[in-house]
Structure 1
């Protein structure tokens, strides 16, 4: 579960939906988790917001391999996020370390920051992270 928190934070990246014109600050773009180990590109997927891993550091890739995922790059981390009020979305986040999807919410906390929360057990065990928008992928 070493990568779990970075992955949960990825959920924060997917905060969007079909009503893109009504969003004050778009969530589509490139986002980096708080530890700087995973970057996700978010965008539209059939009228909902989704996010795919586009960069990961060596440790995140090793953790994924240990969990049975050979290629972390390209994995759909954030799936089917729909608007749930101003600056709030819900969907699901995939945790590669565990190999399962969990309920997730994204809360926009500024033009360049999102809070992603993932809940493991019916909303009783939740973790959250703040993801930052980035202009380009980290070197590495």
Structure 2
């Protein structure tokens, strides 16, 4: 029983270590599967550009005046402000606007992106998946 408890403790601590050493850099898919965004460093900050968009996302963005969705910087100027958390701006193409935003690395393969208005009083979030 003691060996089982020790094995469980080691497994849990190893998983926690993996989550804390993960980075938000890579390829991420939104919940609806309509966008793929590649996050990367832009100087000391984090940014993310759309590398693929589905037909509906492209059509919605065109209605808002975005001619070419692929290549658009969706995530800009995110600054690390703690373990697994960044603040910056998210661009919402179908609204043609940028909003205050936070990114939190929930796990090695899950990214929570929040966008807020009214100084952070009203926020919406999405859980994105690493690809």
Counterparts of 1:12-91 in structure 2, within 5 Å, are: 24-91=21-88
Query: 1 or 2, which has the higher strand percentage?
Result: 2
TM-score by length of 1: 0.77
Query: 1 or 2, which has the higher helix percentage?
Result: 2
Q: Secondary structure at the match of 2:128?
A: strand
Structure 2 unaligned segments of length 5 or more: list them. 1-19
Match of 2:125 in 1: 128
- Structure 1's consecutive aligned runs of 4 or more residues displaced over 3 angstroms after TM superposition are none
Provide the aligned C-alpha RMSD in A: 0.9
Higher RCO, Cα 8 Å, sep 6+: 1
- Residues 20-47 of structure 1 show CA distances to partners (whole Å, capped at 9, x for unaligned) of xxx6111110000001001100001121
Contact 2:23 2:105 in 1 (8 A): no
Aligned residues: 112
Structure 1 unaligned segments of length 5 or more: list them. 1-22, 135-140
CA distance in 2, matches of 1:129, 1:108: 12
CA distance in 2, matches of 1:133, 1:100: 25
- Higher-Rg structure is 2
Q: Secondary structure at the match of 1:72?
A: coil
Match of 2:111 in 1: 114
Counterparts of 1:92-103 in structure 2, within 5 Å, are: 92-103=89-100
